[in-house]
Amino acid sequence: MTTNRVLLVDGMALLFRAFYATAMSNYYMINSKGTPTNAVYGMMKHLFTALDTYQPTHVICCWDMGSKTFRNDLYPDYKANRGEPPVELIPQFELAKETVAALDIPNVGQVGYEADDCMGTLSRVYSEDSQVFLLTGDQDLLQLLKPNVNVVLLKKGYGNYAEYHEDSFYEEKGITPSQMIDLKALMGDTSDNYPGVKGIGEKTALKLLLKYGTIEGILENIEELTKGQRSKIEENLDMLHLSRKLAAIHCEAAVDCSLDDALFYIDEEKMGAKFDELEFKNWKKNITGM
């Protein structure tokens, strides 16, 4: 029985969620240096709430490294529907990484890959000997569920989670985590801006996967499909295969982090100095609960 509890944090997901929670009311917490800090403050609150809830022995924070990845090489319109981040958020990207580092939590990322890919790669390695928790707001990570890997989805507010393990996911969704990739390939993803098979939505995609198991199973039995389903798939076959490549989290990224480096221990003096430097008010009560 493993005693390691590894928390992999989707840094960008926490940062964006924290930013928009207060930005809607134009509350950016600008400090005396003129730097907004609302996203970093909220991210730290999310992080410490999760630390208290899951009591990890090891913590690593994963990041996107720029807006372009190998998926843009495959499909230039991937995420092309997303605008530039708000100007108040831009300086907080590096500030967030600095603050994470002040907690002696490793920051991990690889150019050309998304944080999802880093989390997938590390969870694959660590889950052999450790219990892994993936903290995110992104349902795409549900495809990574397996024994020793749980996904913790942030819900509204602090400390509200939808936690999934392999069995509970199947009970709720009726498909396996790996079938999520084929589901997204069929129905597309408006958030990531790829179409899948035009005209096939989630309901039909689920029905086909429950009957045939995989995209290969569907194609092998395409004669059994309705005329409309068959024509839609045949007309969008290339996009179907491309969408599956876009949907799949790449678990072979060239990222590595020794568990020794990720051992979680807070240097209160170092942390306090960083929080004071950022001019976080009442951080002992409102962030760390100390």
Q: Where does 179-247 sit in CATH, by number?
A: 1.10.150.20
Assess whether pLDDT exceeds 90 at residue 15. yes
- At residue 1, the pLDDT reads 52
The strand pair at 149-154 and 5-10 is best described as unpaired
CATH 1.10.150.20 intervals, the chain:
179-247
Q: Which fold has domain 5-173+255-285?
A: Rossmann fold (3.40.50)
The predicted-structure confidence for 32-55, as pLDDT tens digits, reads as follows 999 999 999 999 999 999 999 999
Cα 218 to Cα 62, 93, 183: the distances in Å are 35, 43, 12
Mean pLDDT, residues 160-168? 93
CATH 3.40.50.1010 intervals, the chain:
5-173+255-285
Band (173; pLDDT cuts 50, 70, 90): confident
Percentage of the chain exceeding pLDDT 90:
87
**What pTM value is reported for the model?**
0.94
The predicted-structure confidence for 233-272, as pLDDT tens digits, reads as follows 999 999 999 999 999 999 999 999 999 999 999 899 999 9
Band (23; pLDDT cuts 50, 70, 90): confident
Q: Phi/psi at 98 (nearest 5 deg)?
A: -60, -40
- At residue 286, the pLDDT reads 87
